[in-house]
């Protein structure tokens, strides 16, 4: 199954289930902001793994943006609603589709929490999948945009870890304690 066929398979579920439409629009537009607020909240509550994961996430985000901007210099994929002439469930700019920035951010967050062995990792991975799937469902990304976003998020987090090692950030060398 190719990228466009898989897109239509997922996109084709809309308008059949009103509750599903609401959940997917929420996942595509708002879930990322709730997750960002949530990770600051759990950091405030005070466990060391979550503090380390937040710092790793904050280091990852500018790296992620640089990677995406570099990709856009060499590769431009129009969004599905432009190239396929469809009506998306949400309004969106007609900028580059690949890779998904929402999914890249969510992926970097989930990877940071996985690396720091946070108890919140499974939930953050689930939310990353929800965001990625919902971006296809609402018609603003192709499936490969989501895969690209996941990979960019993971690469940004790994580069952040290497940068942390290079700069010898002491915060990460402390043992994990609750």
What pLDDT does 51 receive?
A: 92
- Mean pLDDT on 92-117: 95
- Mean pLDDT on 104-119: 96
pLDDT greater at residue 43 or residue 166: 43
Chain centroid to Cα 120, Å, comes to 16
Read off the pLDDT of residues 45-79 as tens digits, 9 standing for 90 and up.
878 889 999 999 999 999 999 999 999 999 999 99
pTM above 0.85, yes or no: yes
| Partners of 96 in beta bridges | 78
Angstrom distance (rounded) from CA 50 to CA 45: 9
């Amino acid at each position: 199954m190719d990228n466009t066929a898989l897109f239509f398979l997922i996109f084709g579920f809309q308008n059949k289930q009103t509750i599903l439409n609401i959940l997917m629009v929420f996942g595509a537009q708002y879930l990322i902001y709730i997750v960002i607020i949530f990770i600051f909240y759990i950091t405030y509550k005070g466990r060391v793994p979550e503090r380390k994961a937040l710092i790793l996430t904050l280091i990852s985000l500018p790296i992620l943006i640089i990677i995406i901007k570099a990709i856009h210099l060499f590769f431009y994929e129009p969004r599905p609603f432009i190239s396929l002439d469809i009506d998306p469930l949400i309004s969106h700019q007609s900028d580059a589709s690949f890779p998904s920035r929402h999914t890249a951010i969510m992926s970097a967050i989930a990877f940071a929490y996985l690396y720091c062995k946070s108890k919140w990792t499974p939930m953050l991975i689930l939310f990353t999948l929800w965001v990625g799937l919902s971006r296809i469902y609402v018609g603003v990304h192709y499936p490969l945009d989501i895969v690209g976003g996941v990979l960019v998020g993971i690469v940004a987090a790994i580069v952040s870890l290497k940068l942390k090692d290079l700069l010898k950030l002491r915060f990460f060398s402390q043992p994990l304690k609750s």
